[in-house]
Amino acid sequence: MDSRAIAELVLQLGRMASAEAHGEGLTPVQWAGLRYFGRANRFSRTPSAFAAFHGTTRGTASQTIKNLEARGYLARMRSESDRRSVHLVLTEKAKAILENDLFETLVRAVDTLPLGGRSQFANALQRVLGQVALERGIPTFGNCASCTHLEGDDCSRERQQSYACGFSSEPLLLEELDGICINFVQGKPLPERGSLIGTAPQ
């Protein structure tokens, strides 16, 4: 299969996923906002980060966020480390509708791939995304597992693995390692699921 055919498959997959983004009276971009803020880490739950991730203007992103706030799906929280900063978080109402998100059909399709195949697929997609972002001069997004800023994997006194973000100089919780981050820089291939955070592969 040539490169153009593969690119068409990726585009078709994106169209199929977007076509399902309806329901609950929300537009596709509003669904995209809920998914983003549900996956983004604490450094990336901002209007500007969402705009960059979704490839839209800050004005459009802000309007989407305002609509979601007005409908009770997003709430603003002050950062514990910097009280001047505000992060956007999902409300319980938003979490409830995301449980029935039709996007999960795509997630289940990926789950049918063997574990090794998923890792190869993820690394290939991350590489393609990085190249496209480089050519277009836009930021790339990823998670801590394959980011060059990830530091530390030693056990703490509580015998739990300890990590930190070299970009922000802040410690990271285990549950944060899979979050989407705007400060991502590709550093290493994605590991098999469980090899980084001490969970058994599934």
- Predicted pLDDT of residue 185: 87
Instruction: Find the mean pLDDT for residues 179-201.
Output: 62
What phi and psi, each to the nearest 5 degrees, are found at residue 150?
A: -70, 130
pLDDT of 81 reads 63
Helix (H) or strand (E) holding 170: strand 170-172
Q: Where in the chain is the domain with CATH 1.10.10.10?
A: 3-105
- The pLDDT score that the predictor gives to residue 173 is 84
pTM check: above 0.85: no
Q: What is the pLDDT of residue 71?
A: 95
Distance CA 116, CA 121 (A): 9
Contacts of residue 153, Cβ cutoff 8 Å, sequence gap at least 6? 161, 162, 163, 196
Q: Which class in CATH covers the domain with range 3-105?
A: mainly alpha
79-116 residue pLDDT tens: 766 666 778 999 999 999 988 887 888 888 889 999 87
The pLDDT tens digits for 16-60 are 776 665 667 888 889 989 999 999 998 899 999 999 998 889 999
Q: What is the arithmetic mean of pLDDT over 3-7?
A: 91
- Across the strands, what pairs with 171? 164
The first and second tokens of residue 69, run together, are 């706030």
